[in-house]
Structure 1
Amino acid sequence: MAHNYPEAYHPDVVLKSPEFKVLDPGVVPLRDPSKNLAAAYAPGANLYLIEKPVPQAREGEVVVHVKATGICGSDCHFWKHGRIGDSMVVRDVCGAGHESSGEIHEVGPGVTGLKKGDRVAIEAGVPCGQCEFCRVGRYNACPDVVFFSTPPYHGTLTRYHLHPAAWVHPIPETISFEEGALLEPLCVALAGIERADLRLGDPLLICGAGPIGLVSLLAAHAAGATPIVITDIAQSRLDFAKKLVPGVKTVLVERGVEPKDVAAKVKAAAGLPTGLKLALECTGVESSVQTACYAGRFGSTVFIIGAGKDFQTLPLMHLSTNEIDVKLQYRYANQYPKAIRLVEAGLIDLKPLVTHRFTLENAVDAFETAVDVTRGAIKCQIHD
């Protein structure tokens, strides 16, 4: 590996530190700014608060006092299922979180352009900077990338986080820490819209009104897609989408209804019997991916953002006879500066997405809320 910083958060190092300990799961700790609390998943679908060492900035690094962190679906998936693809939770604990913003707490030697107190968003995926993919700007494909919160590396859901200075992005005073943390899912949506080649006036289907689907809705609306149809199995989330973008068309997906029939409802809602030009599939659910395939017109694109099962069945002959392209996405690259500009200019308003807020000491409650559909959470954030 070309870089040398990851060992500071590698479980093999953290677990051996005399400062590391797993806190009593039945007790909410008192706030103590000197303690570096973090939330961590563990094998067996366990989630703990832990204390770990307060890091010190080395050459080219900064320590960020993390002020806001959003809970992502992938965090919940690692917690509940212990793996995503080939990434597995196999250590005793591995810290969660990768949607974070905060302020600079300490600046290491050789760092210029940043100082203590600066407000920043953290880009959680840090590539080596030297491989072929990094050289051509597609650093999300770097084989040596360290993506904080993806095992074995600890995440950013902690009080004090050590990070390479080159991979934090200054944010203006007009962008809150809440919005700064939401820049990460916005980057996912922007990368999908860019790679899907969404154009002004394109009719669009968004499958799934969860956080990624909703932020994709905001971004696609700003990009001029019309009409936009969004689907979900929960009417409450469709209602939320309507509040975000009043002109969006909604289709409730009822359990047991065939994907072809759902696709017919999508076409009817859009007023386009021949189908839509583009689908952004934000769930990864097999039936939803199939709906996206059937809702497209000849020559359309199905762009899959959601993470689903390793193996799925697709209607290949339908895709073939209609020349429908299927494209997929792996994280993002080069999106943070664009995301910051869009939010700063007021073209995308992320503020309504945060529906539930928790303190760092109550991070476990935040996760339990995020996975409980009856609580109506869109985005749970943890603040410190």
Structure 2
Amino acid sequence: MAPKDNLTAVLYGINDMRLEQRPIPVPKPNQVLLKMEVVGICGSDVHYLVSGRIGPFVVKKPMVIGHEASGTIVEVGKDVKDLKPGDRVAIEPGITCRTCYDCKSGNYHLCRDMVFCATPPVDGNLARYYVHDADFCHKLPDNMDLEEGALMEPLAVGVHACKRAGVRVGSIVLVLGAGPIGLVSMLTAKAMGASKVIITDLVDHRLNKARELGADFTVRIEKNMTENDIIKKVKSLLGEDPTVTLECTGAEQSVRVALQVTKSGGVVILVGLGKFEMTVPLAGALVREVNIRGVFRYNNDYPIAIELVKTGKVNVKPLITHHFTIEETKKAFETAKTGQGNPIKILIHANPEWKP
């Protein structure tokens, strides 16, 4: 008998999350139907819930939430050749046009016609069943589970940031911010050969997690610290200037620190998305030829992320701190909002067969 239960988490507006039944979608010829397994809560999901918007993206109509996900294929469209029912996949949440200049030149993440899960007005994938284009579903190896599969989305961000930074053997890396993206960036930098990684944050439990995951040094940012205080502390612990700085907070003070602390000729990667306009010490960075680069999601980075976990070079499991069923979605988001229980990565299990 065909399944009928497609319980779905839908954001109607600010602090208005509802669970409702929706029809089970039918895959197009190039798509697969997925029984959703694990969906992680991202900071952007919480931002949409709390504020109803991120920059120009505004929730104007009910939107299914969720984009960090894994699932099991239950049906494939007639044109799908490389996947079959029963395959477990990590779902890359952005679908591109595939024909524009950016797509054809290898920068598909910059496609102007990008359709991205849970970015208004596009629905996300926190549901029992969901359809997705097959070529953006990445098969998981046998030694990876579906929880790890859902974490390939944030890990791909870290991979893309470190690739953009040119992290290699001997790199001295500063990571500003020890949230989930800062932590996966740190893990990736270590896997790519960085000899020293130092990471900062305001919150002790995040820094404790960073040390558990292999950070060489941590810096607790106090509210009364100036940017000069932070710079001195970082250089004192490292004994030298970082050659690469990964700014993962989006906070203006943190961006200012990044531009000043990085070694002359080094690289600053702006991963965190903060205010549209900031006041930063740009001239000082330019005369020292500090390379300043932005990051937007990822580009051909899922296969690398999967390989890093498959081969044991990166372990994302310690990032997982909380588990909820899809019926507990509101509770899961409340935990993410309040920070109660010191969450790092919160996972929601969409499959009713899941047992804690």
TM value normalised by structure 1: 0.88
Deviation sequence 1:98-135 (CA, Å, 0-9, x none): 11001002112222122211111111001011111110
Q: Given the alignment of the two structures, is residue 286 of structure 1 paired with residue 252 of structure 2, yes or no?
A: yes
Write the distance in 1 (CA, Å) between the matches of 2:251 and 2:128.
34
Write the distance in 2 (CA, Å) between the matches of 1:45 and 1:358.
19
Write the distance in 1 (CA, Å) between the matches of 2:4 and 2:144.
27
Partner of 2:38: 68
Shift of 1:203: 0.7
Partner of 1:128: 97
Partner of 2:158: 189
Write the distance in 1 (CA, Å) between the matches of 2:343 and 2:4.
31
Q: Given the alignment of the two structures, is residue 90 of structure 1 paired with residue 90 of structure 2, yes or no?
A: no
Write the distance in 2 (CA, Å) between the matches of 1:305 and 1:317.
21
Residue from 115, 119, 126 that aligns with 1:150: 119
Contact persistence 1:260–1:294 (CA under 8 A) = no
Shift of 1:187: 0.5
Deviation sequence 1:58-117 (CA, Å, 0-9, x none): 2111111110011111111111112222111111x1111111001002112222122211
Partner of 1:50: 20
Shift of 1:153: 0.7
Deviation sequence 1:275-315 (CA, Å, 0-9, x none): 21110011111111112122212222211111111111111
Partner of 1:112: 81
Partner of 2:174: 205
Q: Which moved more, 1:109-118 or 1:343-352?
A: 109-118
Partner of 1:102: 71
Contact persistence 1:188–1:332 (CA under 8 A) = yes
Q: Aligned runs of 1:1-384 on 2, under 5 Å? A: 34-91=4-61, 93-245=62-214, 247-272=215-240, 275-383=241-349, 384=351
Write the distance in 2 (CA, Å) between the matches of 1:120 and 1:261.
45
Moved over 4 A (4+): none
Q: Which moved more, 1:232-241 or 1:43-52?
A: 43-52
Shift of 1:270: 0.8
Contact persistence 1:71–1:97 (CA under 8 A) = yes
Contact persistence 1:62–1:165 (CA under 8 A) = yes
Gaps of 5+ in 1: 1-32
Partner of 2:354: none
Contact persistence 1:201–1:224 (CA under 8 A) = yes
Contact persistence 1:69–1:98 (CA under 8 A) = yes
Contact persistence 2:39–2:347 (CA under 8 A) = yes
Gaps of 5+ in 2: 352-356
